[in-house]
Amino acid sequence: MNIELKITTESIDDFPLLLEVMIHMDLPNIFDRHLKRHGLQQGLSWGWIAVIWLAHMLTEGDHRKQPVQAWVRQAGETIRRISGQEVRELDFTDDRLMLLLRRLSKAAIWEAIETELGRNMMRVYKLEAKRVRLDTTTV
């Protein structure tokens, strides 16, 4: 009995960690709430496209649209397993990424996304206390 094994090798770098952090932040759903799909749109939602592209930019240090499709082809199985989504190369064509950029460039949409992201943010400031004044009560 001959069983043919198919071995796939993917270079994963740090993008699995980046994807997990963005998923934990609920970033795909935040994008999807503000970037509505066209009724005939197939494939990944805008939120998943944005998150995977952002992971590519941070991992590769490259913001260009052109190499994303080849990167997704190379790392597709890892992206599928982490995201739980059916990822296709066609979701990351130059045209599709340009449509995403056009939607994100609208001020109202971007402000709504930033507002939603800011609701779950806590800022911590290191304040130097040089002088403290206490006003006692008259009790």
**The pLDDT value given to residue 83:** 92
* Res. 108 pLDDT band, cuts 50 70 90: very high
**What is the Cα–Cα distance from 135 to 137, expressed in whole angstroms?**
7
Domain count, the chain: 1
Q: Which residues contact 33 (CB under 8 A, 6 or more apart)?
A: 116
- Please give the Cα distance from 29 to 46 (Å, whole number): 9
Range of the domain at 42: 15-117
On whether residue 113 sits in a domain, the answer given is yes
- The answer to whether position 26 is within a domain reads yes
Report the alpha-carbon distance of residue 97 to residue 53 in Å, rounded: 9
In the prediction, which pLDDT does 138 show?
Answer: 67
> Rounded CA gap, 29 and 23, in Å?
9
- Answer yes or no: is 99 within a domain: yes
Within a domain: 79: yes
Q: Decide: residue 54, CB within 10 A, 0-12 exposed, 13-18 middle, 19+ buried.
A: middle
pLDDT per position as a tens digit, 52-103:
999 999 998 888 888 899 999 988 889 999 999 999 989 999 999 999 999 9
| Helix (H) or strand (E) run with residue 32 in it | helix 27-34
State the amino acid at position 94 in one-letter form: D
pLDDT number for residue 139: 58
15-61 pLDDT, tens digit per residue, is 899 999 999 999 999 999 999 887 777 889 999 999 999 999 999 88
